Amino acid sequence: MVTGIGAVTPVGNDRESSWEALREGRSGVARITRFDPTGLPTRIAAEVKDFDPAAYLDRKRVRRSERFSQYAVAAAREAAQDAGLTDVEDPEGRIGVQINNAVAGFPGIEAATDTMHTEPRRVSPYFVSSVIPNMPACEVAIDLGVHGPVNASALACASGVHALLEARRTILAGEADVVIAGGTDSALTRVMFAGLSNMGALSANNDDPEHASKPFDAERDGFVFGEGAVVLVVESAEHAEARGAAPYMEVAGGALTSDAFHVSAPDPQGTFAEAAMRRALANAHVVPSEVDYICAHGTATRINDRLETRAIRAVYGEAADGLLVSAPKSMVGHMIGAAGALSSMVTALAIRDGVVPPTVNLGTPDPECDLDYVPNTARKAHVRTGVVNAFGFGGQNVVAVFREV
C-alpha cells in the first residue's frame, strides 16, 4: 500500500501544489537560471524553483550534500509526515529506504573537476560522499532515523518507478514492513546539456519554453530536461491497517525487461517494451480491460512516443481505445531518475481525486500517436487501475500497476 507522498518538482515544492499545477496544466519550463546557457543549442529546462535546503537541513549538512540528496530529504520528510510516520522509531530495522536516481551528483563532479584544475587542495573532503548514487537514500535514512534495508538503484529514466516495485518486493520478502521509496535527480549543468544537445535529444524551442515539451504532438522536437524528487511510503497492508493508515492505492505488481539493443535508442520493434507491459499486467493479475489510465513515459521524442503508442495498442488491443493516457512530462519536463516516481504520484492522486491530468501542448496530433492523451485539459474519471510506463537509456523497460483500495 502507498500511505504517504512527498514531492519537490518544477511546478511545486510539495505534493499538493505540484498536483494542483498538473491538474491545471501549468508548465514549469523556462529559461535556465542554474547556469549561463549562452552558446548552447538548448537554453531551457524544468528547474525546481525557490527551494531552500536550509528549511530541511542544517547549514553543515547543506554544505556537505548535493541537490539530488536535498530534494530527496525534503520529499521523504513530507511523505513520512503524510503517512503519519514522522515520530515513529525503528529499533528493529523494519523501515527501509529505496531512493533511486539516474545521474547521481553530476553537478558536484563537474564543479570539483573545475576546482581540481586550479586549486586541488580546495576539493571538498566530502566530495565523494556527496556525489555517490546511494547518498540520497542514506541521507533520508539518517534524517528519519530508520534502520531497515537502504538501497539505491540506477535504471536511467526508469529508476523512479523501479523503486516502488523494489519496495514491494522487499516487503513481500519479509525484509521490511515499510519502505520509503522514490526517485531523485538534479543534473542541470553545461556539460550535461552539451552532451544531450549533441545527441539531438533535447527540445531547442528556446523562444517558447512553456510549449516546448510536446509529447505525442506531430511537432515535437525532443524532451525538456528537468529535476526534482518524488517519494512515496510503501507498506504492507497489515502494517498500514494496524496503525490506522489511510492508503492512496495498492502497488499491485509490475515487470522489468531489457531491449538489449542500444545504449540510448529503443528497439524499433518495441518487443520488450510490450513484454514489460504484458508481464506487469499478468504479475498484478489484471487484464487489459480493467485498466482505466496509463501515465505514459511520453518523452516528446519522435521515436519513443510512437513506439510507446504502438506497444500500448499491441498489448491492450480493443481496450486501448477506452484508455486515458497522459504525459506529465509535458509540464514538468523529464525529471530523469525521478520521472517514474512522479508518474506514480500522479496515478495515486488520480485514483484519490477522480481526475486525470492533461497532456498539454498537444495541438497537432501525430497520426501514428492515436490514443486518447487527455489533450490540454484535465478530465474527471473514476480511476480504479492505473499503469505507469517507464523506459530508460540502455533499453531498460519498467512497468508498474497500481490499484484503487
3-state secondary structure labels for all residues of 192-206: HHHHHHHHCCECCCC
End position of a domain, from candidates 242, 264, 279: 242
Same domain, 168 and 288: no
Task: Name 9's bridge partners.
Answer: 12
- Residue 308 resides in a domain: yes
Q: How many domains does the chain have?
A: 2
Position 171 scores a pLDDT of: 98
Beta-carbon contacts of residue 315 (< 8 Å; ≥ 6 apart): 274, 277, 278, 281, 288
364 residue type, one letter: T
- Nearest CA-CA partner of 5 in 234, 305, 217: 234
Calculate mean pLDDT across residues 301-326: 97
Beta-carbon contacts of residue 32 (< 8 Å; ≥ 6 apart): 43, 44, 45, 47, 188, 193
End position of a domain, from candidates 242, 272, 302: 242
- Nearest CA-CA partner of 258 in 118, 392, 137: 392
Grid coordinates standing for 276?
Answer: 514489460
3-state secondary structure labels for all residues of 295-318: ECCCCCCHHHHHHHHHHHHHHHHH
pLDDT at residue 89 above 90?
Answer: no
CATH for 149: 3.40.47.10
Q: What are the residue numbers of the active site? A: 157, 297, 334
DSSP code of 273?
H
List the Cα angle 311/1/146 in 5-degree steps.
115
Same domain, 310 and 198: no
Calculate mean pLDDT across residues 29-38: 96
The 10 Å Cβ neighbour count of residue 380 is 8
DSSP code of 211?
G
The model's pLDDT over 353-389, given as tens digits with 9 standing for 90+, comes to 999 999 999 999 999 999 999 999 999 999 999 999 9
Same domain, 112 and 173: yes
Same domain, 137 and 231: yes
The model's pLDDT over 260-300, given as tens digits with 9 standing for 90+, comes to 999 988 989 999 999 999 999 999 999 999 999 999 999 99
Is 319 within 8 Å of 140 (Cβ atoms)?
A: no
- Give one DSSP letter per residue of 88-99, joined into a string: ---TT--EEEEE
pLDDT at residue 50 above 90?
Answer: yes
End position of a domain, from candidates 242, 275, 306: 242
Residues, the chain? 405
Beta-carbon contacts of residue 396 (< 8 Å; ≥ 6 apart): 155, 156, 157, 158, 256, 258, 259
User: 119 falls in which pLDDT band (50, 70, 90)?
Assistant: very high
Same domain, 259 and 217: no
Global pTM exceeds 0.75: yes
Position 304 scores a pLDDT of: 96
Position 87 scores a pLDDT of: 81
- Residue 248 resides in a domain: no
Grid coordinates standing for 333?
Answer: 519536463
Same domain, 33 and 180: yes
Same domain, 302 and 228: no
Same domain, 290 and 333: yes
Same domain, 284 and 373: yes
Grouping H, G, I as helix, E, B as strand and the rest as coil, residue 18 is: helix
- Residue 247 resides in a domain: no
Range of the domain at 298: 253-403
Same domain, 259 and 205: no
Same domain, 269 and 397: yes
Same domain, 233 and 273: no
